[in-house]
Amino acid sequence: MKRDKVKGKKETVRSASSTVSFPPTFENKEDETQVETLSRGEREEQSKENLYKWSYFFVLHDNFAVEHDDFQTKFDYQSILDQIKQKINEQWKITNENQKIYFENGERLVGRGASSLQSLGLEDGTKLIVRHGLESTWSAVLDRESSFLQEHEDHLKKEIYEDAKRLIDNLVKAHFFTTFPKLGDRRFVIEKKFLNSFDRKSEQIGPPCITFGSREDGTGAGCVCILDYESTISKYYVKTLHGAGDRSTNTRYNIDLKELFVYKFLQELIMGAVIDFVHGEIYSRRIVYIASKEIAGFKTLDYIRLAQPGTVEEYIECVNQMLFVYSVLMLEDHHTANMGCDNGHNPFIVDFLIIGRPMSSVNDIHEGVRMDISFNALLGTFD
């Protein structure tokens, strides 16, 4: 039998029938001492960890001592109360100020945040009961539910409902129903009882702040929107032909950024309505609704021509200004329904089409008003 000597490793003697192991051999005593020291240090560290890592059990109770959840974790002997509170917050979303912690015997765990677990009497295997500080608020909600069902006077029922709603809002803000999901189901049942009663007996929804109407003329797709907000009533005309509307209509077309620019440019010139662009958030952000605010005292040239034919000459300067803008901005569709003035004879362009046709001569500025003879006869020439 031959014995091989290997530095720092176990020696093994093999025979035909068995294998014999020998302890490691070292060339000098220093190597042997180092290995023994490391092994002893590791064993001591592991021993300390096992000795000072204590297990704690946490059980979540509601105000009726019903168990909702539990978990187990470990803390070392140097841990403090704030670390336990932080762990409870992470697990159940209960803020430190809303945590009520008890021993199994019902005694409340009270101490400063920096108090060590040992000083508070916590030992390995301790079981702690956790309750929510807003459980009394939940009890009050249940009381309101009972009172609501027993009350017959509508005005008192409304007061109970409003009080319960305030309490529920406070619980929602504190994430109470995240901590107790089952109680969240009960909350919805309670709210349904309130709403069902008021839906039958009293008005809960006042007049809507937005109503819609249809325009009386024109071929473009659009509607009239009346906004009633804080005692102020505003009326808008909303064009819906930009990427929306009936696909069969020949007025439907995609967004033209030049058109959006011209609407805002006319607004800045005080020759156009106040404009708001409304995005179609539900279906597509590519859909844009153009909302034009009603111009106070506005009359179209068509209305002036038909209802006030004797005043046509008074508006010629305004008409020239509008035709100039149509031409410079390379717009068309300049007919009597898209142009007009307010009571102060100020010109306004309310609709147009982008054509992009450049001006080749000064006469291009003076095409005249479409579909009208009375205005054109008074415009004169640039000769």
Higher pLDDT, 195 or 84: 84
For the stretch 43-80, pLDDT in tens is 555 555 555 688 999 999 998 999 999 999 999 878 89
By percentage, how much of the chain surpasses pLDDT 70?
Answer: 66
pLDDT at 349 over 90: yes
Q: What are phi and psi of 154, to 5 degrees?
A: -60, -40
pLDDT at 307 over 60: yes
What pLDDT score was predicted for residue 111?
85
> Which of helix, strand or coil describes residue 288?
strand
Provide the CA 308 distance to its chain's centre, in angstroms.
53
| 305 and 373 share one domain | yes
Asked whether residue 150 is domain-assigned, the answer is: yes
Higher pLDDT, 148 or 40: 148
| 280 and 331 share one domain | no
What pLDDT score was predicted for residue 197?
64
Q: What are phi and psi of 123, to 5 degrees?
A: -120, 170
For residue 329, give its domain range.
299-378
pLDDT at 324 over 80: yes
The 10 Å Cβ neighbour count of residue 195 is 12
| 56 and 128 share one domain | yes
pLDDT at 190 over 60: yes
- The predicted model gives 5-15 an average pLDDT of 42
| 304 and 264 share one domain | no
How high is the mean pLDDT of the chain?
77
What pLDDT score was predicted for residue 216?
57
From 144, 169, 201, the end of a domain falls on 201
| 288 and 216 share one domain | yes
Give me the torsion for CA of 305, 309, 310, 315, rounded to 10°: 0
Tokens of 363: 């006469």
Range among 8-12, 327-331, 357-361 with highest mean pLDDT value: 327-331
From 181, 201, 221, the end of a domain falls on 201
What pLDDT score was predicted for residue 240?
65
Q: DSSP of 120-183, one letter per residue?
A: TT--TTEEEEEEETTHHHHHHHHHHHHHHHH---HHHHHHHHHHHHHHHHHHHHTTHHHH-HHH
Asked whether residue 231 is domain-assigned, the answer is: yes
What pLDDT score was predicted for residue 290?
87
For residue 188, how many C-alpha atoms fall within 13 Å in the half-sphere facing its CB? Answer: 5
The 10 Å Cβ neighbour count of residue 289 is 20
What pLDDT score was predicted for residue 277?
85
Higher pLDDT, 193 or 370: 193
The 10 Å Cβ neighbour count of residue 161 is 21
| 120 and 179 share one domain | no
Higher pLDDT, 286 or 199: 286
What pLDDT score was predicted for residue 10?
43
Asked whether residue 188 is domain-assigned, the answer is: yes
Asked whether residue 303 is domain-assigned, the answer is: yes
From 133, 149, 168, the end of a domain falls on 133
For the stretch 121-178, pLDDT in tens is 888 899 999 999 999 999 999 999 999 888 888 888 888 988 999 999 999 999 999 9
Where residue 383 falls among pLDDT bands split at 50, 70, 90?
Answer: very low
| 282 and 314 share one domain | no
pLDDT at 347 over 90: yes
pLDDT at 218 over 60: no
Q: Is 77 within 8 Å of 118 (Cβ atoms)?
A: yes
pLDDT at 268 over 60: yes
Q: What is the CATH number of the domain that holds 106?
A: 3.10.20.90
| 141 and 179 share one domain | yes
Where residue 358 falls among pLDDT bands split at 50, 70, 90?
Answer: low
pLDDT at 315 over 70: yes
Q: Helices 154-173 and 135-150: crossing angle, nearest 10°? A: 160
| 193 and 247 share one domain | no
Where residue 264 falls among pLDDT bands split at 50, 70, 90?
Answer: very high
Q: Which of 248, 259, 267, 326 is nearest to 289 (CA)?
A: 259
**If 0-12 CB within 10 Å is exposed, 13-18 middle and 19+ buried, where does residue 133 land?**
middle
What pLDDT score was predicted for residue 229?
73
Q: Which of 89, 88, 77, 69 is nearest to 122 (CA)?
A: 77
Asked whether residue 355 is domain-assigned, the answer is: yes
Q: What are phi and psi of 187, to 5 degrees?
A: -60, -45
- The predicted model gives 200-228 an average pLDDT of 63
pLDDT at 109 over 60: yes
| 194 and 223 share one domain | no
The dihedral region occupied by 58, where left means phi > 0, alpha psi between -120 and 50, and beta the remainder, is beta
pLDDT at 42 over 50: yes
| 348 and 318 share one domain | yes
What pLDDT score was predicted for residue 46?
56
pLDDT at 91 over 60: yes
Where residue 221 falls among pLDDT bands split at 50, 70, 90?
Answer: low
Pairing between β-strand 331-332 and β-strand 353-354 as defined by DSSP bridges: antiparallel
Q: Name the least confident of 31-45, 87-101, 248-262.
A: 31-45
**If 0-12 CB within 10 Å is exposed, 13-18 middle and 19+ buried, where does residue 90 land?**
exposed
| 366 and 325 share one domain | yes
Asked whether residue 75 is domain-assigned, the answer is: yes
pLDDT at 292 over 80: yes
Asked whether residue 41 is domain-assigned, the answer is: no
What pLDDT score was predicted for residue 4?
47
Asked whether residue 27 is domain-assigned, the answer is: no
Report the domain count for the chain: 4
